[in-house]
Amino acid sequence: MNILIKQKGVGLVEVLVALLLLAIGVIGYAALQLRAVEASSEAMTRSQALLVMRSLTESIRANVAGQALYPAAVNSYVNYTNATSAPTSCANSLCTATQFVNYEAYQAAKSAYVVGMTMTMTDCPGVGSASVKRQCVFGAWGDTTITATDYTNCMSVAGVYKSQAKCIMMEAY
């Protein structure tokens, strides 16, 4: 009889411990799910940024006569909003190289804006020689900001990405 009295409530304690372990497991799984959703969202944004930037760089390669004009044109749309006025459309009409540069820069800025990204174009960082001048397109989103003249929130002047920066760089030409 004494053994039975000492055993009272032990089953309840076992159930409570099991529920506590289950709760810890469920919380861990929920945290893992949250991180997976964040990683998927970041990967999608990075893919969209690559598509926008690749389209722009292909236009730059196609418009040999206007290549030197692209950095200024892209940078003129760094602060793009829906209220930004559109340049001459080259979608259904003949355009000069300069008009095509402005139209493509506008279209890239508009596409970047739709996915929550800002773009700039400047000399590539980390190029050792001043005689080798390469142009790079930078795209940033989230908390990372860039301007027409400053990409250093994204990467160092040596070309090293900064920790926690949400951006990407693509060499244009």
Residue with tokens 């506590």: 20
pLDDT digits (tens, 9 = 90+) for 47-61: 999 999 999 999 999
Residue extents of the structural domains in the chain: 11-172
d(CA 76, CA 70): 10
Three-class SS of residue 173?
Answer: coil
Helices 97-114, 10-62: axis angle to 10 degrees equals 170
What counts of helices (H) and strands (E) characterise the chain?
4, 3
Phi, psi of 170 (to 5 degrees): -135, 130
- % of residues, the chain, pLDDT over 90: 60
pLDDT digits (tens, 9 = 90+) for 14-56: 899 999 999 999 999 999 999 999 889 889 999 999 999 999 9
0.85 surpassed by pTM: no
Mean pLDDT of 95-112: 93
d(CA 151, CA 161): 10
The residues that bridge with 170 in the sheet, in sequence order, are 137
Q: What is the pLDDT of residue 5?
A: 59
The overall average pLDDT reported for the chain is 88
Q: What is the pLDDT of residue 36?
A: 93
132 vs 77 pLDDT, higher one: 77
Q: What is the pLDDT of residue 132?
A: 62
pLDDT band at 133 (very low <50, low <70, confident <90, very high): confident
pLDDT digits (tens, 9 = 90+) for 61-72: 998 899 999 999
CB atoms within 10 A of CB 152: 13
